[in-house]
Homo-oligomer: A and B are copies of this chain.
């Protein structure tokens, strides 16, 4: 998961949808009883299946880390195509996604002088290369650095020592990720030579959290990195004793463009195959871990959910489309490319849901369903309820890669995962397969299977309609 921008967008979208003119009563969406019964069986089948776990294991083991644009990006695409075919999807194809390529080559840092010792850090995605040895100036939070006078940090390293808070819904990541996205530009404005932050994470391990940053227009980028939490605390303790000089050496940077692929697989609908329920995750990961919770699990569990639907004697009316999005981490490139490509097919998208918040149990369901689809939405929630999932209409927003489609008017659903521990691992070397609980993952597969099957079986729509003005159409 990249950022929480999508939540903000979603709030707007939800409001807009709720306020839409209601010709709802005339065409209320309902889900047939027979489909409800099938979904309940499907739920139990999925709970007893380890398919999602095995697919996630395959991706994270065989491909491993898959930084967008890296050698492993192409292997991940090939893996996804082969896996969808092996699973018997009716149609499998790829769609190009082009983006700037960023590389990490090496990185190190140490306190120099009388307290000489190494510090564990990692370059932020988008950081330029550079070696800087300078005194560190600590700021308690982003606001404090943004308040620093222009030029006041000349020849210094700016350090934001902000501690991200733990929360089930990941709400601590809003302020946490802003330190990453806005801190470097604030440091440059104050004249700093380099930027350090305490990782946007909730753990206490020597594993720094990377993630994309950006530099405001007109600023000259500076080397920017995140310290592991224990290292940020060590630096704070040292700074309490007096001036501290740090040497950091980052070798990384942008290098041309790369064309990867969104990988798409479909379980063909029995009656309205041209209409799709979209589920998916993102195929890329950061390079430090093997991208298990972010987002191998999202890819694995949605592939498994669709496959289990495909195994039913009778496919649902609409097509189940699984998308493994390209390069989510560095700017939703796959999600934006998808939205642009299908901008004129908004109404053909019944509803869309991306899983990109780990592999914890799903505890809440909500969607953008307008008034005329609320009864059907509640029907879905009812079949999800035995999984321990509460119905929370009006809450949350679409996953990051379906955000651009949602902006175009595609209806979205949210299957909210328990993210209490998500930011212990997120964007670190520790995001590895062993962190996934197979039972929790099966519960996710069951929830996605139920949701997708029922949405695809509904008589009526979930409110997808072209936004005004549409984006990306000719």
Contact = CB atoms under 8 A, between A and B. Distances in A.
Interface string A325-351: 000000000000000000000000000
Interface stretch (A164-172, A231-239, A250-258, A266-274): A231-239
B61 A115 contact: yes
A241 B62 contact: yes
A230 B432 contact: yes
A115 B430 contact: no
Given A64-B117, A65-B118, A117-B65, A432 B234 contact: yes
Given A117-B65, A118-B65, A290-B117, A237 B57 contact: yes
A23 interface: no
Given A62-B241, A207-B206, A120 B434 contact: no
Contacts of A238: 61-62
Interface string A274-315: 000000000000000110000000000000000000000000
Interface in A56-77: 57, 61-65, 71-72, 75
B62 A115 contact: yes
Contacts of A237: 57, 61, 433
Given A116-B71, A234-B290, A432 B206 contact: yes
Contact of A120 (B72, B116, B429): B429
Contacts of A41: none
Nearest to A207: B206
A229 B233 CA distance: 25
Interface residues of A, number: 36
Contacts of A207: 205-207
Residue of A72, A120, A207, A432 most packed against chain B (CB within 10 A): A432
Contacts of A229: 434
A204 interface: yes
A435 interface: yes
Contact of A230 (B72, B116, B234, B434): B434
Contacts of A72: 116-117
A63 B63 CA distance: 40
A205 B118 contact: no
Contacts of A428: 206
Interface string A88-132: 000000000000000000000001001111101000000000000
Contacts of A62: 114-115, 238, 241
Nearest first, the 7 closest Cβ-Cβ pairs linking A and B are A64-B117, A206-B429, A230-B432, A61-B237, A230-B434, A206-B430, A205-B205
28 contacts: A61-B234, A61-B238, A61-B241, A62-B114, A62-B238, A63-B115, A63-B117, A64-B116, A64-B118, A64-B234, A65-B118, A72-B116, A75-B114, A117-B290, A120-B429, A204-B434, A206-B207, A206-B289, A206-B428, A206-B429, A206-B432, A229-B434, A230-B430, A230-B432, A230-B433, A230-B434, A233-B434, A234-B433
Given A204-B434, A207-B207, 7 more contacts: A63-B117, A72-B116, A75-B114, A206-B428, A206-B430, A230-B434, A234-B290
